Each structure stands twice: as C-alpha cells, then as structure tokens.
C-alpha cells in the first residue's frame, strides 16, 4: 500500500524502511477484521451484518488515519532519486491508492476467513450426517424387535417378583428401562438434562447389583442446577460412567466412583472420578473416550472442554459443555 514509486535502485532501502513502518498497521487491521468482524459478527448466531459493516469501516478508517501519520513521519526518507516528496495529510491521490490497496487486503482477509469457517461448518455437518447414518445402519443390523424384548423382560420381571427374587426383578426392570430410553426416547437431537440423569441413575443402580455384600464400595452421584430446562444431546454422558464402572469396579477390590453433574447459566459441568486397579490401569479410557471426543467435536465444536487426568490410582474426567441457549428451539 505504498504511495511511492521506485525509479532507481538507490531508492530501494528507503522504500523498504518506509513500508516496514506501515506493515504493523496492516497486520493489526487484518487481525482486527478477522476477530471482530468475521468471528464476532459475520458468523455469529444470528449474524450481525450491520454491526460487521460498521466495525469494518471503523477499522479501515483507523488504519488509514494511522497510515497517513506514519507517511508524514517517514516521508523524509530519500525517495525518487534522492529528492524528498512534498507531504500533505489530505492528499487525494495517495489516499485513493491506499484506500484501494487497504480495502483489497482487508476484504480478502474477510473473504478467506469467512470461506474457511463456512467450509469447516460444512465438514462438521457432513461428519454428523455420516455418523448418524452409521449409527442407524449399525442399529438396524443388530436390531431385534424391541417389543419382543420388552415383553420378555416384563414376563421375566413378573416371574421373578412372584418367586420373591427381588434383586433379579429390579435388574430386569432397570435393563428394560435403559433399553426403552436408548431405543425410543433418545431418538431426537436433544433431550432435557434430567432425562439423561435418569438414564445414568438407572445404569448406576444396575451396576450396584454387581457389588457383593462383603465388598467395600463407595458410589456417589450428585446433581445440581436446573435440569428440567436445560437440553443436551442424548446418551452423551453415559460412556464416561460406563468407563468408570468398567475400570473402577472389580469384585473383591475396594471401589470408589464419584460422579457429579451441575448446570449453571447454560454451562454443564460433568465430573467422574474412579479408583483404578493395577490389572486395568493400562487400558483405562480406550476407544470409548476416543469416540466420545469425536461426538463432542461434531456436536459441540468449540463449546466444550474435556480434561482427563490420573493421580496415583484415581482416574478423573472433567467435562464442560456450553449448552446452546437456542437448542430447545
């Protein structure tokens, strides 16, 4: 965006010094446009086009003004065969040249970033579509008529109740409830958080049946916040609880599983801690957590954090999700 023409090689040094002084202005203006115009307004939800246009104009005017001041400071550098140029702050021809070049740079930066964001969004939508198709195909391949299974479970539950086998009846009832939720109630994009909490509670109760009377076990599940008016993608938290019981529950060994869930101001925080045993220590996590990371990236891109840590024999997963305020709609 120079207003100087080089007519001789002797002017090259002054030309470079002159434009290197102005380069930080271009860089700062470009990053300001990318951050405040593109990411804060153009691709916001909903997009704010008027605000984006006003910010773009403001950044452009500020960059142009600073550039003119720099030009006034540096114009004394020998240019045009050693002769100093006459400088005036309001000079139509240099301003017109700088306006064209600066608008070209900022406009190109805006277009490139907007295209990249749109392209990433399309890739995420495609990945979600592919995941949905794979899930549906896998379900269809392995599906046995759910009504047939539910009827069997109900009949077995009735039989166990009549024979006084309360634990078996409780287990059958729990399995039936979990299957019913996963088969029918979770066949939507979002569900109330309290539905997911009920699923986790049912799963935990089923796992408690694996604990013998003589086993030392401490299993906690604590919830806080408004669970009825917050919404989340279904069956998203279950893999973390499954992982905790898979590696933290071993007959004859002390068990510690601590689970907490809280929702505050549309922020969901889910934490799972479990004691691991030497026999399973090398296999903690595995494919379940890897698949969960992919689901989170597809469903909540840039709106979640999942931290995994291990201290001695305690394995901990901390998940934070920014639940979309518009998800209910």
Examine the domain organization and report whether 206 and 282 are in the same domain. yes
Residue where a domain stops, chosen among 95, 123, 151: 123
Encoded tokens for 9? 């090689």
Examine the domain organization and report whether 208 and 309 are in the same domain. yes
Examine the domain organization and report whether 112 and 205 are in the same domain. no
Which single residue is written with the structure tokens 């220590």? 281
What is residue 151's predicted lDDT score, i.e. its pLDDT?
Answer: 65
In a domain, 145, yes or no: no
Examine the domain organization and report whether 87 and 203 are in the same domain. no
Number of Cβ atoms within 10 Å of the Cβ of 138: 10
Examine the domain organization and report whether 112 and 194 are in the same domain. no
What is residue 321's predicted lDDT score, i.e. its pLDDT?
Answer: 95
What is residue 329's predicted lDDT score, i.e. its pLDDT?
Answer: 37
pTM of the model: 0.53
What is residue 328's predicted lDDT score, i.e. its pLDDT?
Answer: 41
Which SS3 state, helix, strand or coil, does residue 271 take?
A: strand
In a domain, 313, yes or no: yes
In a domain, 174, yes or no: no
In a domain, 2, yes or no: no
CB neighbour list of residue 229: distance below 8 Å, 6 or more residues apart: 192, 328
In a domain, 20, yes or no: yes
Examine the domain organization and report whether 104 and 201 are in the same domain. no
Number of domains within the chain: 2
pLDDT tens digits, one per residue of 141-195: 555 556 556 666 667 777 777 777 777 777 777 777 777 777 777 778 889 999 9
Q: What is the CATH number of the domain that holds 207?
A: 3.30.565.10
Asked if the bond preceding 267 is cis, omega within 30° of 0, the reply is no
Examine the domain organization and report whether 117 and 200 are in the same domain. no
In a domain, 262, yes or no: yes
With a cut of 50, list the residues of the chain below it in pLDDT: 1-7, 78, 325-329
Provide DSSP, 98-133: HHHHHHHHHHHHHHHHHHHHHHHHHHHHHHHHHHHH
Whether the Cβ atoms of residue 172 and residue 178 lie closer than 8 Å to each other: no
CA distance to 28, 40, 64, per residue, from 25 (Å): 5, 21, 9
Residue from 258, 249, 240, 261 nearest 308 by CA:
240
What is residue 240's predicted lDDT score, i.e. its pLDDT?
Answer: 93
What is residue 325's predicted lDDT score, i.e. its pLDDT?
Answer: 45
In a domain, 68, yes or no: yes
Phi, psi of 311 (to 5 degrees): -125, 115
Residue where a domain stops, chosen among 77, 101, 123: 123
What is residue 71's predicted lDDT score, i.e. its pLDDT?
Answer: 67
What is residue 73's predicted lDDT score, i.e. its pLDDT?
Answer: 62
Residue 70: give the domain boundaries: 9-123
Whether the Cβ atoms of residue 320 and residue 304 lie closer than 8 Å to each other: yes
Residue where a domain stops, chosen among 79, 99, 123: 123
In a domain, 266, yes or no: yes
What is residue 147's predicted lDDT score, i.e. its pLDDT?
Answer: 59
What is residue 142's predicted lDDT score, i.e. its pLDDT?
Answer: 52
User: How many whole angstroms separate alpha carbon 240 and alpha carbon 226?
Assistant: 21
Rounded to a whole number, what is the distance in angstroms from the first to the last CA of the chain? 48
What is residue 327's predicted lDDT score, i.e. its pLDDT?
Answer: 46
């Amino acid at each position: 965006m120079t207003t100087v023409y080089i007519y001789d090689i002797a002017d090259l040094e002054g030309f470079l010094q002159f434009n290197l002084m102005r380069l930080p202005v271009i860089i700062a203006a470009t990053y300001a446009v990318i951050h405040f115009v593109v990411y804060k307004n153009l691709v916001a939800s909903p997009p704010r086009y008027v605000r984006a246009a006003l910010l773009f104009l403001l950044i452009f005017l500020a960059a142009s003004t600073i550039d003119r001041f720099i030009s006034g400071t540096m114009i004394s550098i020998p240019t045009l065969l050693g002769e100093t140029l006459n400088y005036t702050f309001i000079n139509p021809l240099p301003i017109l040249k700088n306006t064209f070049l600066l608008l070209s740079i900022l406009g190109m930066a805006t277009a490139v970033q907007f295209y990249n964001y749109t392209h990433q969004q399309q890739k995420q939508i495609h990945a979600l579509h592919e995941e949905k198709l794979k899930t549906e195909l896998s379900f269809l391949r392995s599906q046995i008529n759910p009504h047939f299974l539910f009827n069997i479970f109900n009949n077995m539950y009735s039989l166990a109740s009549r024979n006084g086998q309360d634990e078996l009846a409780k287990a059958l009832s729990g399995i039936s409830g979990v299957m019913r939720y996963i088969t029918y109630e979770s066949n939507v994009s979002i569900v109330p958080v309290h539905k997911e909490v009920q699923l986790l509670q049912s799963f935990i109760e089923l796992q408690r049946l694996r604990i013998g009377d003589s086993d030392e076990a401490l299993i906690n599940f604590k919830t806080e916040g408004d669970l009825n008016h917050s919404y989340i993608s279904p069956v998203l938290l279950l893999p973390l609880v499954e992982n905790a019981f898979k590696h933290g529950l071993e007959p004859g060994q002390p068990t510690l599983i601590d689970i907490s869930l809280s929702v505050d101001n549309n922020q969901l925080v889910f934490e799972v801690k479990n004691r691991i045993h030497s026999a399973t220590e090398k296999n903690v996590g595995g494919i379940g957590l890897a698949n969960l990371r992919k689901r989170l990236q597809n469903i909540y891109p840039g709106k979640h954090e999942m931290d995994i840590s291990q201290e001695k024999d305690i394995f901990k997963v901390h998940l934070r999700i920014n639940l979309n305020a518009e998800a209910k709609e």
